[in-house]
Amino acid sequence: MSLSGKNVLLTGASMGIGEAIAFALVEARANVILFSRSENKLAQLKEKLSATSDVKITYGTVDVGDYASVEAAVSSAIEEMGDIDVLINNAGLALGAPSPFPELKVSDILTMNNTNINGYMFTAHAVLNHSMLRRKAGTILNITSVTSLEVPPFPGEAVYHANKACQEAFTNALRNELSGTDIRVLALRPGCVATNFHSLRVGHDKEMYNSFFEGYEPLVAPDIAQAAVYMLQQPPNLSVKALDIVPSAQRSLNVFDRSWNERRKDQ
């Protein structure tokens, strides 16, 4: 399916994977609606995107954990751009690692639950009811994680792991509930990606951040963006229901080949 001329709503758009997906969408000639909490970053991103293409670009300053804010922004975007063809649920965060669950701040627990669970559900609810269900057509792509399927081998991930497992369950159940429509519901599961996201999850502790990627080459945000566009560009009768994209050295969530870089130095 060509993305040219399609209206794509992207949450968590202002940096990292979201920003990379925005550039990939614009390159594919899609019109983009960018949601994030930072108006300044959104304005800067729109300016950079507009310098590369003449597609339609708009943005909304939105806290995805606030349904009233989400619904108002979705309605405004539809009024400006027309119906939404694709929703990419990307907004998310992890906080508090490596503190185990009993030591986490309750405020961090609430923030993760609200963003990672409510945010996905609220945005999907608004887009379905204001656009996709009326036409019985569209695609919802939820950016989840390989941690949705396996328990992480290090502390500090209890809430984030539970959030991602919930996203996986929501994706699968929603796909079933939308039977009888042409709305596809897909999951993209990244592995280890070198972004601000991983820095934030360890409180921007540089030593912890570097040790996480020791001995192998992690993915970068454009890798995830390419995978997202690949999934969206499949013909309407074909669904890549779920796609795991991980560094080759990430053999599983518990096994990392940290001799990867050493073996490849002369290749």
| Tens place of pLDDT per residue across the chain (267 aa) | 899 999 999 999 999 999 999 999 999 999 999 999 999 999 999 999 999 999 999 999 999 999 999 999 999 999 999 999 999 999 999 888 888 999 999 999 999 999 999 999 999 999 999 999 999 999 999 999 999 998 887 788 899 999 999 999 999 999 999 999 999 999 999 998 987 665 556 555 677 667 778 898 999 999 999 999 999 999 999 999 999 999 999 999 889 999 999 998 876
* 41 catalytic per annotation: no
CB–CB of 10/21 below 8 Å? Answer: yes
Question: Top-level CATH class of 5-262?
Answer: alpha beta
CB–CB of 51/44 below 8 Å? Answer: no
* 160 catalytic per annotation: yes
Distance of CA 188 to the CA centre of its chain: 8
Cβ-count burial of 145 within 10 angstroms (0-12 exposed, 13-18 middle, 19+ buried)? buried
Q: Could you say which of 6, 59, 120, 160 is catalytic?
A: 160
Structural domain spans, the chain: 5-262
Q: Could you say which of 67, 164, 206, 230 is catalytic?
A: 164
| Beta pairing partners, 182 | 137
Phi, psi of 32 (to 5 degrees): -125, 140
- Tokens coding 66: 């606030």
